[in-house]
Chains A and B, each alone.
Chain A
Amino acid sequence: MQLVELQRLTGLLDEHHTALFAVSYDSVETLQAFAERNGITYPLLADVGSKVIRELGLLDEDLEAHHAEFGGTVRDEQRGVCYPGVFVLDERGVVSQRRFQRNYRVRESGASLIEQALHISAPEAAPNMSLAHERVQIQAHLDSPTVWRYQRLNAVVDLTIASGYHVYATPVPDGYTSLSVDVIADRAAVGETDWPEAKPFRVEGLDDEFWVYEGRIRVSVPFEFIYQRGEEVGNRRVALRIGYQVCNATTCFVPEEATLEIEAHERPGVD
């Protein structure tokens, strides 16, 4: 959850002289219990009665439309809930950025927020897989790392999606991003992607049926390098651009993209 992820990054925020506050309509008791359970040390502010939320114009007045999180029925006590988002304030306390998503279910991950809003990279982020490693691990390889000229190759992408989360497949409803794998190479002919089987997934309170991937999945993209007459034997590079959006039952993170580069070593000779 975003608040817990941000706690893990408070050291980094301190180093960068950045304060952190959370605000919600929860009671002090609720926030105290949450803070204790999750080891939260930064201020969780209790806007009981939603006075500040209302004053700032952040009251969510469309709860019946935003019902995926409520499981279909909005309780009276939920009427004061805010529309979620983040303000970035500069040193003078002036708003320098607003980060609100069009889709009420979508949240930026803690690391993504810090990276995008403050241009601070969380140290554990690996360069190509960047901000995603907490929920999705991506590995890619060519099914044949040494290749004959004109060989049909497959770029194989293995995704491991953390338990409790899923990634959208197609067809995907408006506003969501489905898994995409693009092979980017100089002079290559790319074939039809072989997708794993998706599972149907229903969100309580929403009419849409989603198709999702869970757990460990493999996507294969067939391709061939295109050669020119007289071209010398050499290595070829392939980049795989993977786009996806991770969600759990109630929350979606912003769509992410990762690019992995692979080298294919050409073996001399003709098959």
Chain B
Amino acid sequence: MAEVTERDYTQAGPQVGKPFPSVVLPDQSGQPVDLHEARRGRQALVVFHRSAKW
């Protein structure tokens, strides 16, 4: 049977035209990163991925 999703995830998350919310999380070195600050006024790609482990 083909995969059937219960939710339409293509519409999940912040929508086009809305400010991307503030995100502050540690990076791979353990240092906290404020995404918008780290952007330094540049356009950005924010890639949500499943896992770096599997």
Please report A residues at the B interface, Cβ cutoff 8 Å.
2-3, 6, 13, 17-26, 28, 30-32, 34-35, 40, 43-47, 52-53, 55-58, 60-62, 65-66, 68-69, 78, 81-98, 100-105, 113, 117-118, 173-175, 206-208
Of all chain A residues, the one with the shortest Cβ separation from B2 is A174
- Chain A residues positioned under 8 Å from B39 (CB to CB): 19, 89, 93
Q: A89 touching B3 by the CB < 8 A rule?
A: no
Q: B20 touching A89 by the CB < 8 A rule?
A: yes
- Chain B residues positioned under 8 Å from A208 (CB to CB): 1-2
Given A28-B30, A31-B52: A23 touches B47 (CB 8 Å cut-off): yes
Q: A34 touching B14 by the CB < 8 A rule?
A: no
In the complex, A176→B44 CA distance in Å?
A: 29
Task: Using A6-B45, A21-B44, A89-B45 as known contacts, list a sample of 8 further A-B pairs with CB atoms less than 8 Å apart, ordered by residue number in A.
Answer: A20-B47, A23-B47, A32-B28, A89-B39, A91-B43, A94-B20, A95-B17, A104-B9
B32 to chain A, nearest CB (A): 10
In the complex, A104→B2 CA distance in Å?
A: 12
Of all chain A residues, the one with the shortest Cβ separation from B3 is A65
